[in-house]
Amino acid sequence: MSQQYQPTVVVIGNGMVGYKFCEKLIAKTTAYNIVVFGEEPRRAYDRVHLSEYFSGKTAEDLSLSTANWYSDNNITLHLGDTIQEINRTEKTIHSVRGVVQSYDYLVMATGSSAFVPDIPGVEKDGVFVYRTIEDLELIQDFAKTARKGAVMGGGLLGLEAAKALIDLGIEETHVIEFAPRLMPRQIDSAGSSMLQAKLESLGLKMHLKKSTTNIAGDGKIAALEFADETSLDVDMLVISAGIRPRDELAKLAGLEVGTRGGIVVNSNMQTSDEAIFAIGECALYDGMIYGLVAPGYEMAEVVAAQLCDSAKTFTGYDMSTKLKLIGVDVASFGDPFVGEPDSRSIVFEDSNKGVYKRINISNDGKYLLGGVLVGDADAYNILLQTVNNKIVLPPNPEDLILGARGGEGDAGAGVMSLPDEALICSCESVSKGSICSAVTDGGATSLDEIKKCTKAGTCCGGCVPLVKDLISGTLAANGAYVKNNVCEHFDYSRQELFDMVKLNGIKTYDEVLDHLGKGDGCETCKPVVASILSSLWNDVIVKQNTIQDSNDRYLANIQKGGTYSVVPRIPGGEITPDKLIVIGQVAKKYNLYTKITGGQRIDMFGAHMNDLPEIWEELIDAGFESGHAYGKALRTVKSCVGSTWCRFGLHDSVSFAIEVEERYKGIRAPHKIKGGVSGCIRECAEAQSKDFGIIATDKGWNLYVCGNGGSKPQHAQLLASDIDKETCVKYLDRFLMFYIKTADSLTRTATWLNKMDGGMSYLKNVVVNDSLGIAAQLEAEMQELVNTYHCEWKEAVQNPELRKKFNHFVNAPQEKDPTVQFQPMRDQVKAQEW
Amino acid sequence: MELEIATAVEWVYVCQADDIPQNGGGCVKVGDEQIALYNFTRRGEWYATQNLCPHKQQMVLSRGMIGSSGDACEPKVACPFHKKAFSLLSGECLTGEDYQIKTYPVKVEGDRVFIGLE
Ligand code: SRM
Ligand SMILES: Cc1cc2nc3c(=O)[nH]c(=O)nc-3n(C[C@H](O)[C@H](O)[C@H](O)COP(=O)(O)OP(=O)(O)OC[C@H]3O[C@@H](n4cnc5c(N)ncnc54)[C@H](O)[C@@H]3O)c2cc1C
Ligand code: SF4
Ligand code: FES
């Protein structure tokens, strides 16, 4: 068999860009033999999300590939081996461990290292940089004994490092910046002041215009001394004063490098030796080092294309950025700094909310040139697109930052008006055109499908909202009626399914699938149908346990490590001392971690699946019932103490809360339902943040509906005022049943209302004025559910067949899962980190 | 290319058919190994995979929901934690990631269920 010569591509550096290059090259061709050398001890990882290492992500989580990825793709990977010499005449490279490897093409992706200024004392203990996982390990160790920390550098990376110090429990964190403002590369001074005020209110101490002259201390850092003769006592310092491209190897090999560092490349990413390329943070293109990952990926694409004889070149890259610093949005796009006379700027400032927005507009008022956003960067994506695609501005460009954009519909329209070349995902360089054609020609209809076929949205995730708008926009434009089908197995929405299941009196999932669906079902439609069956017929849900979402299947919430939590119902938050004692005893016996929840009850965590029936048996014996903390069902009705004790209380809010909680407990709905009852307008039960909230007035009760906490909090709105208890319950019956029958799955009442044509006035008409003439029916259906209530744990515990379902091993029923592990924490246990 | 598998499979008895819920899974212990066994009644098929979800190393796949995906009706299981789905035929991750799980052959004789080990 004749073998064709396979040229060798050697990659020096297994960082983000080096990895991306390999991924891109193998996607295009298998013509090359690829060999990679990385100095770090592990496979390339996501440096952009490095800080998440402190919030529990492991090195493996951060890894960009799976362990077998390189071997599966026939790439030879040498880790923990630094290249120390390039012999350009012989076309070989030499590693510290003695490997000699010849190449046809060499790709240098050596990245950069943290720049450490030449200040006396930088070598002292307690001084760190922030670049690799090893750096973070050292910082983490040292931080355990440190109280005061400082970060040198108020740029993007410095502020991120400062956040990390706060997270590590450093009591006092200072940021030292040489320039007169923070993030000098990205934002202007007004933006910087706003950011500074915000960060200071979060506990960071800022020192601007400070030049550090000495790091004092005896072997270990003790203080920073500044040019203005002041000083600051600290126990540790993280230096984040910029980056220094790693060009030492290139320099040694006689390649051209820039005076201030960086391997000089042309638009093909070739160095002064045409067989050698440089990409990522080590490459100097047109006098510029690109310290961000997206341009690095673009450079990787250019080289991969060149090696496949395609003519792609690098033409510079947009350095717009958006990030969240300690919870504060910061973004800059286009040219953030141009001002008069070259352009006009519109500035919006709200120091109360800590929001600063600036947009720079061409003198003729037609085009957006760039801008800065601090405190609220929701508009970033669309503004960036407006700059990049030279979209002609509306007559009142201030609307762009003043939020006159009414509702989500407009944002979608904005995206659809972009040209096809508009870059939507800059990390993976996916254009609007590719996303739309994946929808139109590729038949993709969901974010997941788009991620799979275009990779858009898989890296930093910043473009996900735009991608979603594009999908629904394109579907609508294609005349596809954007139907909220449950999943691929049912061409019906949840509401349609609900009606048909009811009409046909169907009682099991398989029948529903046979009559109304196709295929074998999946993890999306099974729980939806389970919830519908339950809302309609209220049968014991464990009887159909394999269609329940995992929490409903085991009547408990699954937790890290595979154990479950136990939450008995404590209606209205009222509990007797005897019941408290039982909870204590049970938790102690089964070694459960206990915590008071945000819903006024007690959660016991860490139960082995096998123990669940026994735990519940003991709780039920003491008079407890299931709290349905696992179900899309009523959770808690929070109460304040009310007129029984409170000097302001108008009526007995606790009794009413208990009454309502008892009435609706166990009822299955499209999503969970929460309620609250407050005894007066001071609103200690936070009723207006619940799906339904009841507040005492001097004439009766006010009923509010469709509030939500969670990630998008929304206040509940008034449905009826000064009504008596009976009317209140009647309206609640109608409201809840209407929601159960018509909402899409996993839609809370707030979102349901937001999508409802006619909104609150329509809902009020249906519930209060009975405009659809269904009020009596809704009340009757609700009463039926109330009448058929059963505690599902009680049924499970009493039925030996159902009890069997809680064995971890079917062939070794007594044995618990041996892989479950706990760690001690403050006299209790917690789950093993994953 | 299909590889001829010449290695003899050793069939190990694990449980009775009705120990595993219809259209659902259960976990069986084979030596020190945890294997998830699925009774796909709707298709009249049985499958077995490792019980460990490769995403966060959790011993839970047997508690996941099974179903099918795509026009070819590829049978799959979804992990209860983060809903990563895996093919019951090939063990390949169907939700766009590089994970791979182990699958085992299953045979049912009467009401006795066996898993094939290499
Ligand atoms: C235990 C508890 C936290 C605590 O220690 O205090 C908790 C724990 C969980 N919450 Fe919560 N939430 C708890 C009160 C809340 C509250 C506060 C409240 O109810 O007053 C909220 C905001 C109010 C609201 O829902 O509007 C809250 C908003 C959420 C959300 C976001 C819902 C949304 O509409 O955006 C989720 C996610 C979801 O349901 O999809 C969530 C989901 C979860 C899950 C189920 C996540 C999961 O799938 O594992 C957590 C389960 C832990 C467990 O096994 O018990 N939890 N969660 C609280 C239990 C209350 C109870 O007694 O039942
Ligand atoms: C904390 C932090 C947060 C960041 N946040 C963002 C962000 O939000 N957005 C953004 O766009 N960018 C961000 N960045 C920057 C981003 O991480 C870099 O742009 C990106 O990692 C550059 O990739 P690279 O491959 O060029 O360099 P690197 O990822 O540094 O990889 C270079 C690799 O080459 C190795 N190497 C060097 N010399 C040799 C040699 N002689 N032999 C063998 N191996 C060698 C190095 O050890 C290293 O592993 C952040 C960086 C940090 C540190
Ligand atoms: S906010 Fe709720 S869901 Fe999030 S970690 Fe806390 S308990 Fe879990
Ligand atoms: S642990 Fe299985 S999907 Fe995350």
Q: Which of B51, B56, B95 to mutate to test the pocket of ligand 4 (most atoms within 8 A of CB)?
A: B56
Interface confidence, given as ipTM, is: 0.65
- Residues from chain B that touch A455, judged by Cβ atoms under 8 A, are none
CA A564 to centroid of ligand 3, rounded, Å: 15
Is the distance from CB of A541 to CB of A792 less than 8 angstroms?
yes
Report how far residue A523's alpha carbon sits from residue A553's, in angstroms, rounded to the nearest whole number. Answer: 12
Task: Enter the tokens of residue A310.
Answer: 């395609």
Backbone CA torsion sign across A405, A409, A412, A414: negative
B24 touches chain A (CB under 8 A): yes
Which of B16, B38, B65, B101 best probes binding to A when mutated, by most A CB atoms within 10 angstroms?
B65
Q: What pLDDT was estimated at residue A550?
A: 77
Summarize pLDDT for A26-74 with one digit per residue, the tens. 999 999 999 999 999 999 999 998 988 988 889 999 999 998 999 999 9
DSSP state of B5: -
Report how far residue A355's alpha carbon sits from residue A266's, in angstroms, rounded to the nearest whole number. Answer: 41
Q: Do B78 and A523 touch (CB under 8 A)?
A: yes
DSSP state of A181: S
Q: Which residues line ligand 1 (CB under 6 A)?
A: A 557, 559, 565, 567, 595, 597-599, 601, 603, 629, 635-636, 672, 674, 708-711, 748
Summarize pLDDT for A431-465 with one digit per residue, the tens. 888 998 898 888 888 888 888 888 887 776 667 77
Q: Tell the residue nearest (CA) to atom 1 of ligand 1.
A: A597
CATH class of B15-117: mainly beta
Summarize pLDDT for A14-30 with one digit per residue, the tens. 999 999 999 999 999 99
Q: What pLDDT was estimated at residue A388?
A: 82
Amino acid at A216: A
Report how far residue A737's alpha carbon sits from residue A743's, in angstroms, rounded to the nearest whole number. Answer: 10
Residue B53 Cβ inside 6 Å of ligand 4? The answer reads yes
Q: What pLDDT was estimated at residue A413?
A: 46
Q: What pLDDT was estimated at residue B7?
A: 56
List of residues 6+ apart from A260 with CB closer than 8 A: none
Return mean pLDDT, chain B: 87
- Residues from chain B that touch A519, judged by Cβ atoms under 8 A, are 67-68, 73
- Residues from chain B that touch A820, judged by Cβ atoms under 8 A, are 59
Please write down the long-range contacts of B30-37, taking CB distance under 8 Å and 24 or more positions apart.
Answer: B30/B115, B30/B117, B34/A809, B34/A817, B34/A819, B34/B59, B34/B62, B35/B104, B35/B115, B36/B61, B36/B62, B36/B64, B36/B77, B37/A810, B37/B62, B37/B106, B37/B113, B37/B115
Of A634, A560, A624, A618, the closest CA to residue A593 belongs to A560
Q: What pLDDT was estimated at residue A30?
A: 93
Of A402, A328, A334, the closest CA to residue A369 belongs to A334
- Apex A236 CA angle, A231 and A237, nearest 5: 75
Q: Do A521 and B28 touch (CB under 8 A)?
A: no
Q: Which of B50, B55, B97, B99 to mutate to test the pocket of ligand 4 (most atoms within 8 A of CB)?
A: B55
Summarize pLDDT for A154-197 with one digit per residue, the tens. 998 899 999 899 889 899 999 999 989 999 888 898 899 999 99
Cis geometry, peptide bond prior to residue A824 (ω within 30 degrees of 0):
no
CA A598 to centroid of ligand 1, rounded, Å: 8
CA A712 to centroid of ligand 3, rounded, Å: 14
Nearest CA of chain A to the CA of B6: how many Å? 23
At A767, phi and psi to the nearest 5? Answer: -80, -45
Instruction: Tokens 């461990």: give the residue.
Output: A97
Summarize pLDDT for A540-578 with one digit per residue, the tens. 777 777 888 878 888 898 988 889 999 999 999 999 999
Among the residue ranges A434-443, A446-455, A481-490, A646-655, the one predicted with the least confidence is: A481-490
DSSP H or E stretch at residue A450: helix A447-454
Identify any residues that bridge with B66 across adjacent strands, giving them in sequence order: B77
CA A410 to centroid of ligand 1, rounded, Å: 32
Report how far residue A667's alpha carbon sits from residue A678's, in angstroms, rounded to the nearest whole number. Answer: 23
How sure is the predictor about A660, in pLDDT bands with cuts at 50, 70 and 90?
Answer: very high
Nearest CA in chain A to B75: A520
Report how far residue A282's alpha carbon sits from residue A257's, in angstroms, rounded to the nearest whole number. Answer: 10
Helices (H) and strands (E) in chain A, counts: 27, 39
Task: Enter the tokens of residue A399.
Answer: 């609307």
Q: What is the dihedral of CA A813, A818, A819, A821, to 10 degrees?
A: 120
Partner-chain residue, chosen from B29, B73, B85, that has the shortest CB–CB distance to A520: B73
Q: Do B34 and A522 touch (CB under 8 A)?
A: no
Q: Do A562 and B58 touch (CB under 8 A)?
A: yes
- Residues from chain A that touch B64, judged by Cβ atoms under 8 A, are 523, 550
Of A234, A53, A232, the closest CA to residue A140 belongs to A53
Report the share of chain A in percent with pLDDT over 90: 52
Q: Do A522 and B68 touch (CB under 8 A)?
A: yes
Tally C-beta pairs within 8 A across A and B.
105
| Strand ranges for A227-363 from DSSP E | 231-233, 236-239, 243-245, 263-265, 276-278, 283-285, 288-289, 321-325, 328-334, 343-350, 355-362
Of A563, A555, A557, A558, the closest CA to residue A816 belongs to A563
- pLDDT of A503 > 80? The answer is no
Return mean pLDDT, chain A: 89
- pLDDT of B29 > 70? The answer is yes
Q: What pLDDT was estimated at residue A393?
A: 81
State whether residue A26 is helix, strand or coil.
Answer: helix
Amino acid at A580: L
CA B81 to centroid of ligand 4, rounded, Å: 5
Summarize pLDDT for A600-632 with one digit per residue, the tens. 999 999 999 999 999 999 999 999 999 999 889
Stretch A374-390: mean pLDDT, rounded?
A: 85
Is the distance from CB of A649 to CB of A696 less than 8 angstroms?
yes
Report the share of chain A in percent with pLDDT over 70: 97
